Chain A
């Protein structure tokens, strides 16, 4: 092969920088072509177009359908993407897999800047050749491509939304600082639906499916630099480029917390088990080692995504593990104390000054030892007096405020007090509130104001432990 030929081929291959740039375009396109858009509500392309209209996307929309005649959902339609003859930042492809290769070439002719292929029917069902064609064409024409076999992207700010899930079936989150990346569409959509009902809000959602061109490492590189993203959630089953992923993760974890849930933990051990090491250090264990070593926060379950996000978006970093517990219900304080220790934390001890101050400020029925049992009739004044003292105690690194709204003294004024201290003091605070509809109202009130509220002491302790673990990592790496 002649040297100039090799060079030419290399020039055609998408670099990591090209893919990061492609993601940025995908997330904030001025114009979107939806290929496979249809008037028929059973078609994926119909749902995608309808969603763009529902969420109020303000850029240009071009429905494309080979059989189109007239308008689709009120918009002028095109039989072929090359007929549009205007700039196209993003093409969303929702047509059968066998037609997609041809379409990529047409996208190139039409000057498309980025592509999301939501269609399935590629390597995941053994159609390796079709997927390889997609990869080769995307590289040949230098068009960054996400998918196939994915839900695509969603950006709450730019209102791009390629998800083929109708807005009445899945709630869309409010705008926030968490970005969520999922290899799996199912984990992605169900988690998204839960996040929508949480107070912290979402910045971006990226479902990348088969990762044929843009993979998890590219997405990590992109989100690490994205200013709207404060916390990254990752669901992965595997990474394509292990060492590149490590390099990306090393840099990204210094900038923002990355919570990762690895699917496939129980996968059978290594086939080549000649040694103890080989059988003990299987694929999952290798991922686990990478996460520990490079500062990623390990989630055990989908629920961890929510409980970790809450604390990371709202609370300050904290490298100490001495936790004060204040409670208006003695028993839950005991359970809370246990949960600290089972998560590697410890109950703080009050300083002598704090003890004196508490004795003075609180009625005699309140003991001034940890956990501080403020008694069932504690009202906002008692919460306030306690918080005022312990927030200044140098022996305390973080606070768990157990607040049971079933009690006579607990009402919206208590919630307001917690919001006041939780948003102004320098220490992290978590609230534990267990209960039904009355509790739910106050939970919402506090969470919308940036106070993480948990429905069990253990979930709260897990979240605190995650925050402290990551803070310690940062502290060490920045030293």
Chain B
């Protein structure tokens, strides 16, 4: 059974080696450090990271769109207070990524067939619509395209040739990543935010 969550910053580096893009982030131990990370007003997301809190947004442990120093400071204090119940914890600040669509890209180890890869409509819609497509790794370009075709939301998340190419490339990279990292039992990149001309994974959940 998968047990240990890979630290965000470590996961960011591991994925980076496969050119899988994720939001830049840093752990902070004070409001001052968080304000510095925003480089004078770039919007931030602030999250409590704890083994005891798996669904952060449901538990009120995420604050988004913080750019004013006062707001950053307020959020830091608020989250620190809430996190007392789920010690040990860390506070992560992350560059906000703006986009209009959210997808999930996932991986898991099936006891019969080995490594699986998943793609679907992401963010808060994952559980509601369960609009996902799954394949056994490794996948090829055809499989990646078929996965997108299988989704009811395929035309929404990849409306044109360019975004389709970008997403199939991402799926191929993730397939390679999960095959190369046998120890990673489960992987959730959710949400991966899609914006004009690019994507960025903003939450990384790698379990080993």
Q: Do A and B actually bind?
A: yes
Chain A interface residues (CB < 8 Å from chain B): 238-239, 242-243, 246, 270-272, 274-278, 280-281, 283, 285-290, 292-293, 476
Contact check: which of B127, B134, B142, B188 meets A289 at CB < 8 Å?
B134
B186 interface contact, C-beta 8 A:
yes
Q: Give CA–CA (A270, B190) in the complex, Å.
A: 19
B107 interface contact, C-beta 8 A:
yes
Contact present for A277 and B110 (CB under 8 Å): no
Contact check: which of A238, A239, A278, A286 meets B186 at CB < 8 Å?
A278
Which A residues touch B2, using CB under 8 A? 272, 274, 278
Which A residues touch B136, using CB under 8 A? 246, 286, 289-290, 293
Which A residues touch B186, using CB under 8 A? 272, 274-275, 277-278
Contact present for A243 and B113 (CB under 8 Å): yes
Which A residues touch B146, using CB under 8 A? 292
Min CB distance, A100 to chain B, in Å? 28
Q: Give CA–CA (A242, B136) in the complex, Å.
A: 11
Question: Provided the pairs A243-B113, A275-B187, A277-B108 are in contact, do residues A476 and B142 lie with their beta carbons within 8 angstroms?
Answer: yes
Question: Provided the pairs A274-B54, A274-B186 are in contact, do residues A281 and B207 lie with their beta carbons within 8 angstroms?
Answer: no
The 10 closest A-B pairs by CB, nearest first: A277-B106, A242-B112, A289-B134, A275-B188, A242-B113, A286-B110, A275-B186, A272-B1, A277-B108, A278-B186
Chain B's closest residue to A285 (CB) is: B134
Contact present for B132 and A293 (CB under 8 Å): no
Which A residues touch B112, using CB under 8 A? 238-239, 242, 283, 286-287
Which B residues touch A292, using CB under 8 A? 135, 146, 150
Which A residues touch B132, using CB under 8 A? 280-281
Q: Give CA–CA (A272, B111) in the complex, Å.
A: 12
B108, B132, B139 pick with most chain A CB within 10 angstroms = B108
Contact present for B110 and A281 (CB under 8 Å): yes
B54, B112, B120, B139 pick with most chain A CB within 10 angstroms = B112
Which B residues touch A293, using CB under 8 A? 135-136, 139, 143
Q: Give CA–CA (A476, B150) in the complex, Å.
A: 17
Contact present for A288 and B142 (CB under 8 Å): no
**10 A/B residue pairs, CB under 8 Å, sorted by A:** A243-B114, A276-B106, A276-B126, A276-B188, A277-B108, A278-B186, A280-B132, A281-B110, A285-B134, A292-B146
B82 interface contact, C-beta 8 A:
no
Min CB distance, A355 to chain B, in Å? 33
Contact check: which of A242, A275, A276, A476 meets B110 at CB < 8 Å?
A242
Q: Give CA–CA (A292, B2) in the complex, Å.
A: 27
Which A residues touch B111, using CB under 8 A? 242, 283
Question: Provided the pairs A280-B120, A293-B136 are in contact, do residues A275 and B108 lie with their beta carbons within 8 angstroms?
Answer: yes
Contact check: which of A239, A275, A276, A286 meets B134 at CB < 8 Å?
A286
Chain B's closest residue to A272 (CB) is: B1
Min CB distance, A270 to chain B, in Å? 8
Min CB distance, A160 to chain B, in Å? 31
Contact present for B106 and A286 (CB under 8 Å): no
B104 interface contact, C-beta 8 A:
yes
Question: Provided the pairs A238-B112, A246-B136, A286-B113 are in contact, do residues A277 and B104 lie with their beta carbons within 8 angstroms?
Answer: yes
Which B residues touch A280, using CB under 8 A? 106, 118, 120, 126, 130, 132, 134
Besides the known contacts A281-B106, A293-B139, 9 further A-B residue pairs in the complex with CB atoms under 8 A apart: A246-B113, A272-B185, A277-B107, A280-B118, A280-B134, A281-B116, A290-B136, A292-B146, A293-B136
B101-133 contact mask (Cβ, 8 Å, vs A): 1 or 0: 000101110111110101010000011001010
Min CB distance, B135 to chain A, in Å? 5
Chain A's closest residue to B189 (CB) is: A277
B173 interface contact, C-beta 8 A:
no
Q: Give CA–CA (A174, B143) in the complex, Å.
A: 40
Which B residues touch A271, using CB under 8 A? 1
Contact present for A275 and B116 (CB under 8 Å): no
Contact present for B113 and A278 (CB under 8 Å): no
B205 interface contact, C-beta 8 A:
yes
Chain A's closest residue to B143 (CB) is: A293
Question: Provided the pairs A274-B54, A280-B118, A280-B120 are in contact, do residues A290 and B106 lie with their beta carbons within 8 angstroms?
Answer: no
B142, B146, B186, B187 pick with most chain A CB within 10 angstroms = B186
Q: Give CA–CA (A76, B143) in the complex, Å.
A: 60
Contact present for B114 and A242 (CB under 8 Å): yes
Which A residues touch B143, using CB under 8 A? 293
Min CB distance, A272 to chain B, in Å? 5
Contact present for A290 and B113 (CB under 8 Å): yes
Q: Give CA–CA (A289, B135) in the complex, Å.
A: 5
Chain B's closest residue to A289 (CB) is: B134
Min CB distance, B136 to chain A, in Å? 6
Contact present for A289 and B1 (CB under 8 Å): no
Min CB distance, A43 to chain B, in Å? 38
Contact present for B126 and A281 (CB under 8 Å): no
Interface positions, chain B 166-204, Cβ under 8 Å from A, are: 185-188, 190
Contact present for A275 and B207 (CB under 8 Å): yes
Contact present for B113 and A288 (CB under 8 Å): no
A287, A292, A476 pick with most chain B CB within 10 angstroms = A292
Contact present for B108 and A281 (CB under 8 Å): yes
B41-54 contact mask (Cβ, 8 Å, vs A): 1 or 0: 00000000000001
Which A residues touch B106, using CB under 8 A? 275-277, 280-281
Which B residues touch A270, using CB under 8 A? 108
Contact present for B134 and A274 (CB under 8 Å): no
Which A residues touch B127, using CB under 8 A? 276
Q: Give CA–CA (A285, B106) in the complex, Å.
A: 14
Q: Give CA–CA (A239, B114) in the complex, Å.
A: 13
Q: Give CA–CA (A91, B111) in the complex, Å.
A: 35
Which B residues touch A288, using CB under 8 A? 134
